[in-house]
Amino acid sequence: MCGGLRYFGRYVVETIGNAGEAWFGLAGDQDGTAHLTITHRIAIYKEVGPPLCVEATGTVDGMTGLLFGFEGTFRLRNDSTLVFRPT
């Protein structure tokens, strides 16, 4: 499943555990940065071409500004929505 859809048939499914690290930042009056550890990433491809769906999950640690001290999990959805949840 990816993006709320179940893919059957001739698709290439790429699943990566411990997929890396990233940084997230807020701009403007409510600035802040967070460190993301990507613990799982899934991508669905037709046989060739760009992915049809990509989602990632992992942990987040707030580093500066509004996010300072925040600890929790995140989900990067296929529609590019980033959702943080406290632990």
User: Other C-beta atoms within 10 Å of 39: how many?
Assistant: 16
**Do the domain assignments include residue 60?**
yes
What pLDDT is stored for residue 83 in this prediction?
95
The 10s digit of each residue's pLDDT in 25-66 is: 988 777 999 999 999 999 999 988 899 999 999 999 999 999
Report yes or no on 77 lying in a domain. Answer: yes
Domain membership of residue 68 as a residue range: 12-86
pLDDT at res. 78: 95
Structurally, the chain folds into a number of domains equal to 1
- 8 A C-beta contact, residue 69 and residue 62: yes
Query: Is residue 1 one of the residues assigned to a domain?
Result: no
Q: How many Å apart are CA 8 and CA 72, to the nearest integer?
A: 32
Residue 29: the pLDDT is 77
- Residue 20, SS3 per DSSP: strand
Quote the percentage of the chain above a pLDDT of 70: 100
**57 in a structural domain:** yes
> Is residue 35 assigned to a domain?
yes
